[in-house]
Structure formats: C-alpha cells, structure tokens
A and B are shown apart, each in its own frame.
Chain A
Amino acid sequence: MTQIQSRDVPVIELRHVDKHYGDLHVLKDISLSVGKGEVVVIIGPSGSGKSTLCRTVNRLETIDSGEILIEGVPLPQDGRQLAALRSRIGMVFQSFNLFSHMTVLDNMILAPTGVLKLNRKAAKDEAMALLDRVGVADQAHKLPAQLSGGQQQRAAIARALAMHPRAMLFDEPTSALDPEMIGEVLNVMTELAADGMTMLIVTHEMNFARRVASRVIFMDGGSIVEENTPEAFFTQPRSQRALDFLQSIRN
C-alpha cells in the first residue's frame, strides 16, 4: 500500500543530483525517493555527503545539476515560494538551533503565527500540546540555554511539528548529545515514525536505524553505494564498502 502510493507521488524525490564544493565532488548523481509514510535512514562514514544530501532537500544547500521534487513539484529557487515550501518540510539540526533570545514557547509559536498566520491563542494551545507530547511542557517558559541538550532537541522537534510538515528531515539529531540523552530523543522519533510521519534521517545510531527504518541508504564518497531493507543491510550487505563500514563501527 505504502509502496504503491510512493510510486505515485513521492513526498521527496531527487533525480541525478550533483554538487561540488570547489574541486570536491560532494554529491555524485544522487537519485532517491521517499514515499509517504516512509522512514528512510541515511548512514555512512563522515564526509560521505549524507548531511549535505539532507540539506539540499529544503535548499539549505544548493545543487549544481539534477532535480529535486517535493510532492511532484520542483523545489522553488527563491522568494516566497521557497519559504512556503520550507514551511511544509520540518527540519531538525544537530545543534538544535532553538532561537536563543526566545522562550521555548515563543520558539514554538513564531512560525505558526508568522508563517501560517494562526492566531496566538490557537498556536499556543497547540504548542503546549506538542511540548507535552515530547515531554518538555514544563520547560515551556524557559530559555533554550536553561534546558539540557536532550530537552532542547525534543523542543526543536516539537517546533518543527507545529508547522504540520508533510515530511521531516533529521540531520544527525543525536550527534551533539550526551549519551544519556540520546535515548529520549530517539524515543520521540520512534513514536513519530509509528504515527506515519514521512522522515529522512541522517544518523549514526545503528540500532535505531535497524528498528525504525523502512529503507536504509548507505553513502560513501558522495554516492549512494547501497539501498536496502534494514534487516538485509545490517545482516548481509551487498557491497563490500558497506560491510567494511559496519565492521569498523562494530569494533
């Protein structure tokens, strides 16, 4: 069912995307599609281009050639159309990036009131419900710097959810966290996946990937080396490079 839908109109689709940083070829002929309700996890060694790939989807990184389609429509290049598109794609960053001069609650309602033009009351009510869902409702009136990393990241996820995104991008959401806080963030993401959110996740958390992913994409040197089901990827990867990578993290 999911498969058929995804073949019809993928939420995110990349076609032959290339990108260079000067002489460095960071994305090589990337084609990828994420269907509705799919959870696609990208893994790979650092410098493999997986973060860059994730950031091209809402044009935080530009591409040199190829095409990016969101729900079948080409990614706008500037202006209000680009802003409008971004408002429909949630993004969670490695370093949380909550606005440091606003309380958590003000962080939550900034875009719903400013972009979606919700009234304050409605935005606030929904924000509190979302904060409650990720377990930080009691921190709503604090400033980001007063929260732990795990709490900040959960609030950042709630902030993205407040825009009712069609899909969520996660760019190494747990890499900046102390080990004891990684679990709480992954739990929120697991619940989100169970609720049917379309997600593109860059992560180093292999157990999480194995548990939650609908598909795993392995990148190395700017190319997609392997695309597989999580079970197959972690037990018998097809490519030698994936095998080497998995062995190197197990050691």
Chain B
Amino acid sequence: MSAPTIRDRLYEAPGPRTRRRVALFTVLALIGLGFLLFIIIRQFARQGQLEARYWDFFLKWSTWRYLGQGLLSTLKAALTAAVIAIALGFILMRGKLRQNPVPRWIATAVIEFTRGVPTLLLIYFFFLVLPRMGLNLGAFWRITLPCAISASGIIAEAFRAGVNAVPKGQAEAALSLGLSNTRTFYQVVFPQALRFVIPSLISELVIVLKDTTFAYVVSYADLMQHAKVLITSHDALVSVYLVVAVIYILINYALNRMSDRIAQGNRRPTVQRQGGAA
C-alpha cells in the first residue's frame, strides 16, 4: 500500500467502544457472508451440480489444453484488435488535435460514433452487411475489426488526454529551439505523453478482450466456443461456464492490476523530475 486512501482517512483511531462495535459487526458479517455462501453451495448440491461428473474432467490435461487453445484464439483476436485500435486511435487523435477544422471535425465525428455505438451493432454490421456488399472477410476479421473500431475512439481520447498532460512548456521549448511542429510532436511531446497513456491502453485491452466474447456471433472459435464444445461433450453446462467466467475475470483482473501499477509508478518519478532536475 502506498499513499493513504479514503479508507484510512475516513476513520480515526478507534476508541475502546468503537473497537468493540467493530469486532461485533465483524463477527456478524462473517456469519452473514458464511450463510450466503452456504445457501449458494446448498443450491448447487441440491440440483446435483456438485456431482463429480460435472467437475472431474477439469482434472484432465486434455480439458485444459482445449480451453487453452480457445484462450489463445481469444488472445490473438484481442491483441490484433488492440493493435488496430491503437493505430486508429492515434490517427484520430492526430486529426482531432489539428488546427485545420476539416480533419478535426471528421475525427470528432468518428470518435463520437465509436463511443456511442455498441460493439454488438458493429459486429452485426460486419457479419450481415459487408458480405452482401461482396466483402467476404474471415471469421477472425469479422470479430477483430468491429472490436478495434469500437475501441479506437476511447483510445483516441486517451491519447489526447496524455498529450494534454504534457506540460505546455515542453512544446514551447522545442519550438523555440527551431524544431518543426511535427518534430516537436514526435520527438518531444508524444514520447512523454506515452507514459501517461500506457495504463489506459492496458485497460482498453480489457474492454477489447471482453468484446471478443461476442465471437460466437461470427462463429470464431474463441474461448467461449471451445467452452460450448466441452459442454456438449461432457453435458456439463454450469461448471464449464463458471470456470470460463473465472478465467476471463482473472485475466482482466491481472491486466487491470498491471495498469494500476504502471500508473502508480508513473506518478512518482514525474514529480521527482520536475522538482529535482528542472
């Protein structure tokens, strides 16, 4: 734990009476939560969902290898979509920061569009409309492209926030040294902006990864699809879907943690640099 959070500030050091009350409520809460867990497990047991046949195939290596293959496809789609989204987002950000109103206006319109439209609608567009127009993309692109477009607007805004977070004096100093606008942006402003942007890019990856779960719409064999196959072959729906949900949650949790770590690490050196070496 680094800086004190609101949790620490909200309460003062407890007096004896407060301590007793907290202890009492802790016990009550434990009983309550334990009871909740008991109810859930009992419901599983009563409906026979705890039977070994629903769970024992998770002890087999082949099950995990199969799920792993699905996960690999999911990650492949998510990473591809993320890379495309970052490229698109960068272009949109450049457009939005231009002096010329035409590219600025177009970029703004595209950003607002991607931020206001659900990924599912875009997926259906790629799935239903484009083939009729003679554009036959494979399942892989039918899921990655809409996910990428959907994320590009938010990424553009993240880039823009990063660029705006770089102190104005940096650009002014570069321009006063005679650097061109383009050089100033690429050699001075953007590298510094990247530090601020990387955490939000990682959180965007989480959004893209979640969006790829709609891959079943376009019949791309991702983790969810592999889960479906397992369900049919073992006739075990609840256990498989629960395990898959946990896999998604853990991956996204890890990504979010990474993003937070980088963001926290970013804050300290920046402050020191401004104070010390300036």
Contact = CB atoms under 8 A, between A and B. Distances in A.
Partners in one complex: yes
Interface of A: 59-60, 62, 76-79, 82
Given A60-B12, A77-B18, A79-B18, 13 more contacts: A62-B12, A62-B13, A76-B15, A77-B15, A77-B16, A77-B17, A78-B14, A78-B15, A78-B16, A78-B17, A79-B15, A79-B17, A82-B15
Q: Main secondary structure on chain B at its contact with chain A? A: loop
Contacts of A62: 12-13
Contacts of B17: 77-79
A55 to B, nearest CB: 11
Contacts of A76: 15
18 contacts: A59-B12, A60-B12, A62-B12, A62-B13, A76-B15, A77-B15, A77-B16, A77-B17, A77-B18, A78-B14, A78-B15, A78-B16, A78-B17, A78-B18, A79-B15, A79-B17, A79-B18, A82-B15
A77 B17 CA distance: 8
A82 B18 CA distance: 12
Contacts of A78: 14-18
Contacts of A60: 12
Nearest to A79: B17
A9 to B, nearest CB: 24
Contacts of A59: 12
Contacts of B15: 76-79, 82
Interface string B1-29: 00000000000111111100000000000
Q: Which of B13, B16, B18 has the most chain A CB atoms closer than 10 A to its own CB?
A: B13
Contacts of B12: 59-60, 62
A129 to B, nearest CB: 32
A84 to B, nearest CB: 14
A79 B14 CA distance: 9
B19 to A, nearest CB: 8
A178 to B, nearest CB: 21
A59 B14 CA distance: 11
Contacts of B14: 78
A77 B16 CA distance: 7
Contacts of B13: 62
Nearest to B16: A77
A235 B15 CA distance: 44
A62 B18 CA distance: 14
B162 to A, nearest CB: 27
A147 B17 CA distance: 41
Which 8 pairs from chain A and chain B are nearest by CB? A77-B15, A78-B15, A78-B18, A62-B13, A78-B17, A77-B16, A79-B17, A78-B14
B140 to A, nearest CB: 51
A79 B18 CA distance: 7
A63 to B, nearest CB: 10
A79 B20 CA distance: 12
Q: Which of A59, A62, A77, A82 has the most chain B CB atoms closer than 10 A to its own CB?
A: A77
Q: Which of B14, B16, B17 has the most chain A CB atoms closer than 10 A to its own CB?
A: B17
A82 B15 CA distance: 10
A82 B14 CA distance: 11
A115 B16 CA distance: 23
Q: Which of B12, B14, B18 has the most chain A CB atoms closer than 10 A to its own CB?
A: B12
A60 to B, nearest CB: 8
A20 to B, nearest CB: 13
Nearest to A82: B15
A60 B14 CA distance: 11
A101 to B, nearest CB: 16
